[in-house]
Amino acid sequence: MKLLWCAAAAATTLCAQTFSGSPALDDAVNLAIEQGKLPGAVLVLGHNGHIVHFKSYGKRALVPVPEAMTTDTIFDIASLTKVVATTSSLMKLFEQGKFRLNDKITEYIPEFQNGKSEITIRNLLTHFSGLAPDVPLDTPWSGYATGIHLAATTKPEAQPGVRYVYSDINFILLGELVHRLSGQMLSDYARQNVFLPLGMKDTMFQPPAAFVPRIAPTERISANGSPLRGVVHDPTARNMGGVAGHAGVFSTAADLARFAQMMLNGGELDGVRVFSAATIRKFTEPQTPPDQPILRGLGWDIDSPHSGNRGELFPIGSYGHTGFTGTSIWIDPISESYVILLANSVHPNLRPALTPLRSKVATIAAAAVGGGILAAKGITLTGYNETFTAGVHRDVARNGTTLTGLDVLERQRFKPLEGKRIGLITNQTGIDRTGRRNLDAMLEAGVHVAALFAPEHSLDGTLDVDEIPDSADPKTGIHIFSLYGATMRPTRSSLSGLDALVFDIQDVGARFYTYQTTMFFCIEEAASAHLPFYVLDRPDPITGTHVEGPLLEPSAASIIGHFPGLPVRHGMTMGELARMFNAEAKIGADLTVIPMQDWHRGDWFDSTGLRWINPSPNMRSLTAATLYPGLALLESSKNYSVGRGTDSPFEQIGAPFIKSSELAAYLNQRLIPGVRIYPTKFGASEGVRFIITNRELFDSTRLGLEIAAAIQKLYPGKLEFAIDRKLIGSDDVINRIVAGEDPRSIEQDLTDQVASFVARREPYLLYR
């Protein structure tokens, strides 16, 4: 797609006249100038490959003499350097395989923290490194090498991956990373590989004297001195000679419009491909830790305290950045639009940030170019954090009245099953909202239940043994075929005379639970016998939004986790899993899912109004179910207990070698989001117990990895992690635990796998 320009001032006026949002944009910017919030600005708005609004306002300079603003004014774009130069340069190097996002920065800058740091390139790009906002400036210093030394030796304020701290140090280091990977200074690499290919002729570090008359001056840094003009405003970048990864680029609205259009085009402009479309998507999709309310891409802002320039209508999925001097850019792929506001609000003296003006301009623009498009596409989510920034906490616990698939079928008087001889696969969890068994409800409605099939733990869910024989239902005398005994599947003889199979069992939301495997086998056998297969859906008790790795490798599949590629916490209901199994395993069953009513993906079990029935003898509470995906990762280990047989299974762990106070203190020092740990003792073993303090932030798999790493560090050799392969599901994760790697790094490396699964599961989801 070519970028279509309003080529001159007259054409600019024509664009403004034909764009419906121009009068409101003019009023917003002019009012801010009248109120003294900025001397002037240049505003450009692009939509569908065209520039629809391109205009200058006010003054370029106020002192020493007033100068009118022009559309070709060159601005010190401050922190827009982070995305336009540094991130873009890293995108090129990423495409060339020069680094991985989860590589530790010490691999390329070995002097960083004396080579002892878990901070990754991803941490730096997302501002989750824990590094301070800036290097020390209280003592005078100068020189590029000095700046890099200070960035490499300034002590972190927090552990990586734990807390969002917007930090210039992150991008000082990333700018140096470009230098070390390419052999060129960032200024040269960005110009040759990004600016020149895009025709950004007025974009550069260290502009020459010939450009100074067009440059908007910034702050007067001494009382009687002249404003900075052509010299970078940021003091750290200025001390470093004008070239740094966080600030230093000068550019025009026209050049940045070309850059923004290239991003919307998926990496191409005017026939020149600068990046692959996949790279654009990768760097502009959320890459921050899943337990954090902040959403940032790689370099780019999406939804954070700094994203006021998104306004109140552009949706999540759009992205941008701001600069301290008064510059900002926001790009929305949904409406194919961008908004670029360039100002020098720090001239001649510092003023408050332009956040209100940026927000107004973006909202006006979105309404004019994107309102109909966003509505037509059903895009309504414009900020995960709007309630937080408004000072009101979001109510995450919904009070619903969920009807399970069984309840829905009851209201239909079981019409889909009318006239069929049914084989019912169920257990004690198969009850309706009143507590009545599915079997009894079906029989009372006249459904012919000809056979029962029971999974692990038997029809009443009380047995915890390795093999369960066939039996009969005490109340009705109907034969119960065990699916956890000599065979794990319905036999052809057990299916003889049946017209359909109905599955109604409550799952727990984790990959390692045999009920999922039982359902998989039953779908296969139904397809083989040409029997319709019905799933009466029930909630994922630990929500359908939390997804956590690692994914199951094919060679680790077993009865406890059979389907390769499924993460530990999948965020899917049994009905959704059945759809995935049938399609991806190419089973070809005649599958019907009876969906729930009034269940939302973000619902925890306590939001449903349904009765908790222990899915298995040791799964006795929602708290246990929430902790289970993490605590059960190591359950196959010898001399290690997850509390089975105690009053609180899967809420505590213990072992003869554990020193409870030591392990609790170590795990608490790791600042694992959403959970606290305290010492305990059960039986003859010491151990630790877990309290979930924020279940929305809590990542159960992260906790499991932290426990494994802690045991390996504090009690080396006491557990043989390979025994837990069928639970952990990944040889790579096991090897890294044994090698003593930080669980945060392991979790970060799982991010792409989890994101891929989330996209993969999308066609099978039934609820939003």
Q: Residue 386's pLDDT is what?
A: 35
* Confidence tier at 385 by pLDDT (50, 70, 90): very low
| Closest by CA position to 262, among listed 179, 336, 344, 184 | 336
Q: Helices 277-284 and 88-95 meet at what angle, rounded to 10? A: 130
* Confidence tier at 506 by pLDDT (50, 70, 90): very high
Compute the mean pLDDT over every residue in the chain, rounded to the nearest whole number: 93
Least confident residue range of 24-38, 307-321, 393-407? 393-407
Q: What is the pLDDT of residues 168-213, one digit of tens each?
A: 999 999 999 999 999 999 999 999 999 999 999 999 999 999 999 9
Q: What is the pLDDT of residues 589-629, one digit of tens each?
A: 999 999 999 999 999 999 999 999 999 999 999 999 999 99
Q: Residue 648's pLDDT is what?
A: 95
Distance CA 185, CA 178 (A): 7
Instruction: Provide the Cα torsion 278, 281, 282, 285; round to 10°.
Output: -160
| Closest by CA position to 615, among listed 534, 715, 688, 512 | 512
**152 CB-near residues (< 8 Å, 6+ apart):** 109, 111, 112, 113, 173
Least confident residue range of 160-164, 174-178, 582-586? 160-164
Structural contact between residues 331 and 370, judged by C-beta atoms closer than 8 angstroms: no
CB atoms within 10 A of CB 284: 22
Q: Residue 744's pLDDT is what?
A: 87
Q: What is the pLDDT of residues 460-478, one digit of tens each?
A: 999 999 999 999 999 999 9
Task: For the chain, give percent helix, strand, coil, nearest 5.
Answer: 35, 15, 45
Distance CA 724, CA 705 (A): 12
Q: What is the pLDDT of residues 118-161, one digit of tens each?
A: 999 999 999 999 999 999 999 999 999 999 999 999 999 988 98
Q: Residue 162's pLDDT is what?
A: 84
Q: What is the pLDDT of residues 673-698, one digit of tens each?
A: 899 999 999 988 999 999 999 998 89
Q: Residue 421's pLDDT is what?
A: 99
> Cis (ω within 30 of 0) for the bond into 333?
no
Mean pLDDT value across residues 419-440: 98
* Confidence tier at 371 by pLDDT (50, 70, 90): low
> Which of 144-150's residues contact partners 24+ apart within 8 Å by CB, and which partners?
144/240, 144/241, 144/243, 144/244, 146/239, 146/240, 147/172, 147/236, 147/239, 147/240, 147/244, 148/172, 148/173, 148/176, 149/111
Question: Comparing 308 with 388, which gets the higher pLDDT?
Answer: 308
Distance CA 602, CA 594 (A): 20
Distance CA 144, CA 152 (A): 12
Q: Residue 408's pLDDT is what?
A: 98
Q: What is the pLDDT of residues 52-100, one digit of tens each?
A: 999 999 999 999 999 999 999 999 999 999 999 999 999 999 999 999 9
Return the CATH number of the domain spanning residue range 405-612: 3.40.50.12170
Distance CA 125, CA 656 (A): 43
Q: What stretch of H or E contains 617?
A: none
Two structure tokens written together for 724: 């837990």
- CATH class assigned to 9-389: alpha beta
Two structure tokens written together for 532: 């319709």
% of the chain at pLDDT higher than 70:
94
C-alpha torsion sign, points 371, 377, 380, 381: negative
Residue 623: alpha-carbon gap to chain centroid: 24
Two structure tokens written together for 309: 């320039």
pLDDT at position 703 over 60: yes
Q: Residue 159's pLDDT is what?
A: 86
Mean pLDDT value across residues 382-392: 36
Q: Residue 477's pLDDT is what?
A: 98
Q: pTM of the prediction? A: 0.74
% of the chain at pLDDT higher than 90:
87
Q: What is the pLDDT of residues 245-298, one digit of tens each?
A: 999 999 999 999 999 999 999 999 999 999 999 999 999 999 988 767 789 999
Two structure tokens written together for 466: 């390795």
pLDDT at position 396 over 90: no
pLDDT at position 10 over 50: no
Residue found under tokens 């490396």: 749
Half-sphere exposure of 154 (CA within 13 A, CB side): 23
Q: Residue 373's pLDDT is what?
A: 57
| Closest by CA position to 699, among listed 632, 626, 760, 633 | 626
Least confident residue range of 208-222, 297-311, 375-389? 375-389
| The residue type at 99 | F
Mean pLDDT value across residues 401-410: 98
End-to-end CA distance of the chain: 34
The one-character DSSP state at 87 is I
**451 CB-near residues (< 8 Å, 6+ apart):** 422, 423, 424, 478, 479, 481, 494, 498
- CATH class assigned to 622-729: alpha beta
Cα distances from 617 to residues 456, 628, 708, 709, in angstroms, run 10, 13, 25, 29
Q: What is the pLDDT of residues 322-338, one digit of tens each?
A: 999 999 999 999 999 99
Structural contact between residues 451 and 478, judged by C-beta atoms closer than 8 angstroms: yes
Structural contact between residues 267 and 275, judged by C-beta atoms closer than 8 angstroms: yes
pLDDT at position 768 over 90: no
Q: Where are the domains of the chain?
A: 9-389, 405-612, 622-729
Two structure tokens written together for 12: 């600019």
573 three-class SS: coil
Mean pLDDT value across residues 531-543: 98
